[in-house]
């Protein structure tokens, strides 16, 4: 089993709250050390104390098992507003927010996320034509989505 699989297995043991889930695990380098970045999310968001708890438990378990032979950096964080939605499970809590969806065939839809189903989402797509804003409810299958980001507005 490789290190990423070991980390995934440990996280499954550590994260006992059913509303929390792992979005991504990446390995990189930083100042000649291995950097392990874990992105956590929750059905209602994730709090910093939850990230801290997972980080401490994971770090202790990794040390106990001597998982890493060389120095490493462990970072556990939430996705942040600027990060794309990566899992189906992240979409429901964003219903009512404006999102931008880019599909694999390069179409772009921007507007309010109105519905999330097992195989598709619905977006009230807004297009500006001259001085008018036209809206169209569009169903977008998950398997056609390249990326989805939440549009942050400071109104």
- Percentage of residues in the chain with pLDDT exceeding 90? 81
* Residue with more model confidence, 45 or 57: 57
For residue 71, pLDDT over 80 is answered with yes
Q: Does pLDDT of 40 surpass 70?
A: yes
Instruction: Report the mean per-residue pLDDT for the chain.
Output: 94
Phi, psi of 12 (to 5 degrees): -60, -35
In whole angstroms, what is the distance from residue 126 CA to residue 103 CA?
A: 16
Domains of the chain in sequence order = 3-77 (3.30.300.70), 88-150 (2.30.30.100)
User: In the predicted model, what is the mean pLDDT of residues 75-80?
Assistant: 93
**Two tokens, residue 100:** 């931008």
Q: At what angle do helices 3-14 and 48-64 cross, to 10 degrees?
A: 120
Q: Three-class SS of residue 10?
A: helix
Distances (CA, A) of 46 to 4, 25, 69: 22, 16, 31
Non-local CB neighbours of 103 within 8 Å, separated by 6+ positions: 109, 140, 144, 145, 146
* CA-closest candidate to residue 109, choices 100, 119, 122: 100
Does residue 134 or residue 113 have the better pLDDT? 113
Asked whether 77 and 37 are in contact (CB, 8 A), the reply is yes
Answer yes or no: is pLDDT of 130 > 90: no
Tell me the pLDDT band of 1, cut-offs 50, 70 and 90.
Answer: low
């Amino acid at each position: 089993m490789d290190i990423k699989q070991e980390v995934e297995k440990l996280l499954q043991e550590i994260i006992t709250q059913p509303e929390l889930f792992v979005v991504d695990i990446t390995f990189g380098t930083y100042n000649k050390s291995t950097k392990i970045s874990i992105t956590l999310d929750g059905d209602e968001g994730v709090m910093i104390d939850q990230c801290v708890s997972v980080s401490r438990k994971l770090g202790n378990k990794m040390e106990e098992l001597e998982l890493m032979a060389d120095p490493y950096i462990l970072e556990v964080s939430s996705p942040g507003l600027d990060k794309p939605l990566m899992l189906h499970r992240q979409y429901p809590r964003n219903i009512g927010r404006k999102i931008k969806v880019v599909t694999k065939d390069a179409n772009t839809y921007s507007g309010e996320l109105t519905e999330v189903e097992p195989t598709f989402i619905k977006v009230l797509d807004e297009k500006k034509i001259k001085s008018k804003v036209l809206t169209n409810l569009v169903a977008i299958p998950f398997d056609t989505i390249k990326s989805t980001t939440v549009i942050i507005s400071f109104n």
